[in-house]
C-alpha cells in the first residue's frame, strides 16, 4: 500500500513512472464523456455553422452521423427518426427547431420525461407579422377580385372600406398571434383575439374561454388561425364555426392544416358564404397534386412559408438555454405537455 509518507519519499522519476502506470491502467478504462448535441432536420446544414459559433464547447453531430449516443446531452430536432432520442441515455434537453411542437408530441416519439423547448423568437414573429399583414391587406384591398377582373379585362372600381371598418379576429394570442394583433391594430384594423385565458394587448379586444369563441367569430370579417395544434384545437374550424362568420368573411390559416375540416371549408367557399381562404398549412404537406385546393378559384395556396425559424437568432437562444441548464437556472420556453404547447 502506497501511503502519503511513502509517496513523498519516492524519487521524482519513480513518481512519474507510477503515475504513468496508474493512468494507463485506469484512465483508458474510464471513457471520457464529451458533451454533444444531436441535430436532426432536413435543413441541418443551415444550422451547423450557427450552432457551432454559439456553443464552442459542445460537439455538434448531424443525424445520422450521431456516433456514440451516450455522449448526446442535447438534441435539436424537426424531422426525427422514430426511436433515436429514446436511445440517448444521457439526454438532458430537447429543442424543437420550430414554434409548433405538435408533431414532436405524437405518442412515443420523444421521451416524455425530458424537457422540450420550443422556439419563441423575434425574427420568427416578425416574418409571421409580415405574412399576416400582407394577407389581411390583400383581402381588405380586394386584390383577388381585381386580379380576377384583370383576367377578363374588366375596368370596374370596387369600394374598399377603411381598415377601422374591417373586423379582424385572431384565434390564438400566443407570441405569434399577439405580435400580429398589435401590428394589425397599429394599421388601424378593428382587431379582436381569442385565447384560452384573457390577454391584455393595446387596442385589441380580448375574448377568452369556450363561451367567447363563437361571439369572437360572429364579429369577424377576416379570421386568422394562429392556434397551437392540440387535441382541443384540431378540427376547430369546422362547418359550425364557418357558418358563424358573417357572410363574405375570409379565412387566413398559417397555423396548422389539421385545425381545418377541409370538406366544410370547401362547402363554405362553394356556397358563397366564405369569400377567400388563404392557406399556408395543410393536413398533408406537400399538398397532394390531386387536392381540390390547388384549382379552387377562391383558395390561395402557399407552401408553408408564412414564417421560418432563423438559425442566426435561434442558435444563440439554444446556447443560452444550455448555459442555463448547466448553471441550474430554469429553462426558457419549455413546452407544457399537459397543454400541448
Q: Which residues sit at the interface with ligand OXD, rule CB under 6 A? A: 98-100, 309
CB closer to ligand OXD out of 40 and 220 = 40
71 vs 306 by CB, closer to ligand OXD: 306
Exactly one of 283, 291, 304, 337 is catalytic; name it.
Answer: 304
Tell me how far, at minimum, the Cβ of 109 lies from ligand OXD, in Å: 15
Residue 176 vs 192, nearer CB to ligand OXD: 176
Q: Give min distance, CB of 309 to ligand OXD, in A.
A: 6
- Smaller CB separation from ligand OXD, 206 or 281: 281
Q: Please state, in angstroms and rounded to a whole number, the distance separating the CA atoms of residues 337 and 341.
A: 7
What is the closest distance, in whole angstroms, from the C-beta atom of residue 94 to ligand OXD in the complex? 15
CB of 308 to ligand OXD, least distance (A): 6
CB of 103 to ligand OXD, least distance (A): 9
Three-state SS letters, the chain = CCCHHHHHHCCHHHHHHHHHHHHHHHCCCCCCCCCEEEEECCCHHHHHHHHHHHCCCCEEEECCCCCCHHHEEEEEECCCCCCHHHHCCCCCEEEECCCCCHHHHCCCCCCCCCCEECCCCHHHHHHHHHHHHHHHHHHHCCHHHHHHHHHCCCCCCCCCCCHHHCEEEEECCCHHHHHHHHHHHHHCCEEEEEECCCCCECCEEEEECHHHHHHHHHCCCEEEECCCCCCCCCCCECHHHHHHCCCCEEEEECCCHHHECHHHHHHHHHCCCEEEEEECCCCCCCCCCCCHHHHCCCEEECCCCCCCCCHHHHHHHHHHHHHHHHCCCCCCCECCCCCCC
- In the bound state with ligand OXD, the residue whose beta carbon lies nearer, of 286 and 297, is 286
Question: Does the annotation count 304 as an active-site position?
Answer: yes
Give the catalytic positions in this structure: 256, 304
Amino acid at each position: 500500500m502506497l501511503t502519503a509518507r511513502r509517496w513523498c519519499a519516492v524519487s521524482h522519476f519513480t513518481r512519474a513512472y507510477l503515475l504513468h502506470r496508474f493512468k494507463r491502467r485506469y484512465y483508458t478504462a474510464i471513457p471520457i464523456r464529451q458533451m454533444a448535441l444531436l441535430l436532426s432536420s432536413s435543413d441541418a446544414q443551415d444550422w451547423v455553422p450557427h450552432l457551432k459559433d454559439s456553443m464552442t464547447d459542445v460537439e455538434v453531430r448531424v443525424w445520422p452521423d450521431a456516433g456514440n449516443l451516450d455522449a448526446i446531452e442535447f438534441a435539436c430536432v424537426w424531422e426525427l427518426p422514430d426511436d433515436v432520442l429514446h436511445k440517448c441515455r444521457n439526454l438532458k434537453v430537447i429543442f424543437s427547431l420550430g414554434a409548433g411542437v405538435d408533431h414532436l408530441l405524437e405518442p412515443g416519439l420523444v421521451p416524455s420525461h425530458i424537457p422540450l423547448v420550443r422556439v419563441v423568437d423575434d425574427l420568427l414573429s416578425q416574418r409571421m407579422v409580415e405574412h399576416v399583414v400582407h394577407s389581411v391587406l390583400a383581402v381588405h384591398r380586394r386584390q383577388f377580385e381585381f386580379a380576377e377582373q384583370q383576367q377578363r379585362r374588366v375596368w370596374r372600381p370596387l369600394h374598399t372600406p377603411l381598415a377601422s371598418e374591417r373586423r379582424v379576429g385572431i384565434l390564438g394570442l400566443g407570441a405569434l398571434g399577439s405580435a400580429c394583433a398589435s401590428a394589425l391594430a397599429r394599421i388601424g384594423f378593428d382587431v379582436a383575439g381569442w385565447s384560452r385565458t384573457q390577454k391584455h394587448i393595446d387596442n385589441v379586444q380580448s375574448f377568452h374561454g369556450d363561451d367567447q369563441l363563437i361571439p369572437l367569430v360572429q364579429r369577424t370579417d377576416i379570421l386568422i388561425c394562429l392556434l397551437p395544434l392540440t387535441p382541443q384545437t384540431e378540427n376547430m374550424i369546422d362547418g359550425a364555426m364557418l357558418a358563424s362568420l358573417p357572410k363574405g368573411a375570409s379565412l387566413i390559416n398559417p397555423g396548422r392544416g389539421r385545425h381545418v375540416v377541409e370538406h366544410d371549408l370547401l362547402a363554405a367557399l362553394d356556397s358563397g358564404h366564405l369569400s377567400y381562404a388563404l392557406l399556408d398549412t395543410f393536413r398533408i404537406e406537400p399538398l397532394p397534386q390531386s387536392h381540390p385546393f390547388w384549382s379552387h378559384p377562391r383558395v390561395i395556396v402557399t407552401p408553408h412559408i408564412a414564417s421560418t425559424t432563423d438559425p442566426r437568432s435561434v442558435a444563440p437562444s439554444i446556447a443560452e438555454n444550455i448555459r442555463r441548464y448547466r448553471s441550474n437556472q430554469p429553462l426558457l420556453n419549455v413546452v407544457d405537455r399537459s397543454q400541448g404547447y
